[in-house]
Amino acid sequence: MAVSGEKIVSVIPFAGFEKELDYRVPAHCAGVVGVGSLVRMPVRNRQCLGIVASLQGESGFPAARLKCLTQLVHDEPVLTAELVELARWMRDYYGASAEAILETMIPAAVRRGVKGKAEKYLSACGPIPPEELEKLQKKAPRQAALFEFLSQQIRPQKKNLVLKRTGIAVASCKALVERGWVKEEARRLDREAYRDELGAGEAVSVIPPVLNSEQQEAAEAMIGSLRKKSFQVHLLQGVTGSGKTEVYLKVLQEALAGGGGAIFLVPEVALAPQTVGRLRARLEQEGGVKTVVWHSHLSEGERFDAWTALVRGEARVVVGARSAVFAPVPNLRLIVVDEEHEPAYKQEEAPRYHGRDVAVYRSFLNNALCVLGSATPALESLRNASLGKYKVNRLSKRVDDRRLPMIHVVDMCREILSKRGALGISRPLADKMIDRFEKKEQTILFINRRGFSSSVLCPECGYVCECEHCSISLTYHRSDETVKCHLCGYRRKAPQHCPGCGSAKIRWKGFGTQRVEDAAKSLLPRARIERMDTDAMSKKNRFREILNDFRLGKIDILVGTQMIAKGLDFPNVTLVGLIDADLSLHVPDFRANERTFQLLVQVSGRSGRGDRAGEVVVQTFTPHSGTIHYARREDFDGFIEEEMEMRRQFKYPPFRHLIHHLFHGPNPEKLSFYAEQWVRLLEEKIKADIEIRGPCPAPLEKIKDRYRYQVWYFTHNVSRLVPKLQSLRSEFPWPDDLVQVLDVDAVNIS
Ligand code: ADP
Ligand code: ZN
Ligand code: ZN
């Protein structure tokens, strides 16, 4: 029997399925349970966690037959209504599981029910007459020692640390507190949430410069949007060194001054120590606003503290990598996405979301301003700008009027033919490296690791096997000696000899990082050379050490993958060598040109940031590539015009959305059979809204004994298509050993 006035809620369960379930709320917590509450409830025969998604007046189900919530985990909601809405949108748009999304949004400690632990702090109270202290020293020496220790401290100290360090028992401490000599108070974290080694030790300019007229204009336009308190996206397109960060800061200050909160996203926190340092120094100095730093290296406790500081309104700004887009910032007015074109914003595991796109949607839900900034915006963003969805602000000048460095292009075919450059360093690059070493200037060598060298490229004439239908490089498959297009499935026998020049060395495998490091060592035996790649990164501090040593001039030559191209600023670097531009130019990805262009611009931005002019040497087997030419002339608009045309012609993103559907399993025949059946079903059930390509083998045909197949969907309307795909997926009779992964707006397609 339904009790009238009983409260009923819909809950998103953490139970591996997507349906929201209705429950009754027990009377004793009916007043506190609301949207965003974390609850425990029975699902089938077990207890599950769930998030209250909405309050129901009446359930369609007779209320008496509904089960009751078992527990309210926290008295306060753990998500705002707006974050619950965001989670629902992500579920429908990305086809991700609600569970995976909510687990990304809510720190593990909060899910486990850990409450904000109030750390106890001790401090000594006022001066005590010396004779009193003497008495105490005789009677209770431990208490006296503790008191003396505390009176020497400037700030209150953490109780557990003090007791541990002084070896004094809790009872002695208690006696002192009761006597009124020592004050014990509960204080929340304070430091933990804001503590982090990142950004410490960076030279930070805290005095804001006077903005130049372009910066001023951009900032004013954004502040205008901010004041309207309605949703708006601004795309800030500014060449490297044009002072974008100063514009962000101006807008941030405005948002904070009005009592609002803000999120500042960077592609990778560890690579942006200067930005992080600058931001927090400036904000803390000018407005006393605390900044929380959020990244994947936070321990569970640190993440919990950061989260709590935001929820309680003790901090209003968060700087972090993509997952910071979910931070529970109160009264969110602004989200800044720096280097918005970076593929690092795409999460390559479940939930597969794009941090930039989620930032835009969250701004929409909050009637907030979203600022996307880049020297080389993504084509997706430029398209939105040209459709009038985003406002564009441009910064065309470098702040100090420095010229961009000279870009030299070296034809590696000629270098290899004349036996030079075989180890990865061409003669022109070698000469310049020697010159820099003698002048005590620094060099960075970039090695491209993107794309496994599976394209077919002739190192003697630069011929590349491409698909005529898709305009992407074909992928070499060793198992049956074929080259295949992994977009449309086109295949043919792999050439034994180069169709361009007849050479038998048609397969180019690229230079390894190690080999290039060795070549540099034998070229300059006295130089101090360090390598920075994923191996070095695995040790958290090693990475910072190398960067610090490099900044201090203890390293002459830094060899690394393109991860070191981001945001770093080394005034003494006057030479940058891009060892193998082809490995990014000819990966089987329609974004290959875009990525290469971005890389070249970024790399040139790294060189000659001081008062010395910089030089960039680009080594390539295809020196006549349009992309390299545009980058060399700094002609972003020219490049974009040509690239957009290619995308339009092939109806690639940004003209349509691209969804990747990957299947993997132990048995290749079974895999291709099910993939075929699945595609047949789609062709029958979904006619509008979709163009299907495939199934075909993935470029990496087999990983860890599991075969891989893939299907591509092109669509104009993700929100309409994905729910249909999801319901078909849930009904399709997948075999148990087959795993399938849906990736909406796939970024890494090679
Ligand atoms: P971007 O992010 O566009 O590459 P930054 O914001 O990092 O550029 O600015 C580059 C450098 O110029 C920084 O050291 C910054 O402090 C300085 N800078 C920015 N704006 C000004 C300005 N208006 N006057 C003087 N220096 C500036
Ligand atoms: Zn050839
Ligand atoms: Zn093709």
What pLDDT, on the 0 to 100 scale, is given for residue 189? 45
First to last CA, the chain: 59
* pLDDT at 738 (0 to 100): 94
Is 272 in contact with 335 (CB distance < 8 Å)?
A: no
Distances (CA, A) of 294 to 106, 216, 326, 631: 13, 29, 10, 34
Better-predicted residue by pLDDT, 473 or 32: 32
Give, for ligand 1, the residue of 204, 245, 264 to mutate: max count of ligand atoms closer than 8 Å to Cβ. 245
Residue 211, both tokens: 């903005």
61 versus 30: the higher-pLDDT residue is: 30
Ligand closest in space to the Cα of 467 = 3
Residue type (1 letter), 433: M
Tell whether ligand 1 has an atom less than 6 A from the beta carbon of residue 246.
yes
What would the pLDDT profile of 641-672 be if each residue is shown by its tens digit?
A: 999 999 999 999 999 999 999 999 999 999 99
Q: Which of 69-73, 127-131, 184-188, 223-227 has the highest mean pLDDT?
A: 223-227
Residue 744 has pLDDT above 80, yes or no: yes
Any atom of ligand 1 within 6 Å of the Cβ of 241: yes
513 contacts 543 by C-beta, under 8 angstroms: no
**Mean pLDDT calculated for residue range 139-164:** 81
Mean pLDDT of 76-101: 93
pLDDT band, very low/low/confident/very high, at 60 (cuts 50, 70, 90): low
Separation between Cα atoms, residue 88 and residue 53, nearest integer Å: 9
pLDDT value at residue 478: 74
Instruction: Please state the rounded mean pLDDT for residues 288-306.
Output: 82
For the residues 381-410, what does the mean pLDDT come to? 89
Instruction: Please give the number of the atom of ligand 1 that sits closest to the Cα of 211.
Output: 23
pLDDT (0 to 100) of residue 295: 81
**Ligand (nearest to CA of 492):** 3
Q: Does the beta carbon of 374 lie inside 6 Å of ligand 1?
A: no
Position 190 scores a pLDDT of 42
Residue 118 CA to its chain's centroid (Å): 32
CA-closest candidate to residue 709, choices 722, 691, 696, 719 = 696
**Dihedral angle of Cα 535, 536, 541, 544, to the nearest 10 degrees:** -140
The reported pLDDT for the residue numbered 566 is 60
> Tens digits of per-residue pLDDT, 400-436?
776 677 889 999 888 776 666 556 889 999 999 999 9
Res. 325 pLDDT band, cuts 50 70 90 = very high
Nearest to 322, CA basis, from 300, 311, 338? 338
Segments of 516-555 assigned E as strands:
529-532
Instruction: Tell me the C-alpha distance between 275 and 269, whole Å.
Output: 9
Distance 346 CA to ligand 3 centre (A): 24
What is the per-residue pLDDT for 565?
65
pLDDT value at residue 606: 61
Q: What is the pLDDT of residue 311?
A: 87
Q: In this model, does residue 115 exceed pLDDT 90?
A: no
Q: Is the pLDDT of residue 1 over 80?
A: no
Tokens of 218: 């951009």
In 3D space, the residue among 277, 287, 278, 273 whose CA is nearest the CA of residue 315 turns out to be 287
List, for residues 536-586, the tens digit of each pLDDT value: 555 656 777 888 888 889 999 998 876 666 656 677 888 989 888 877 777
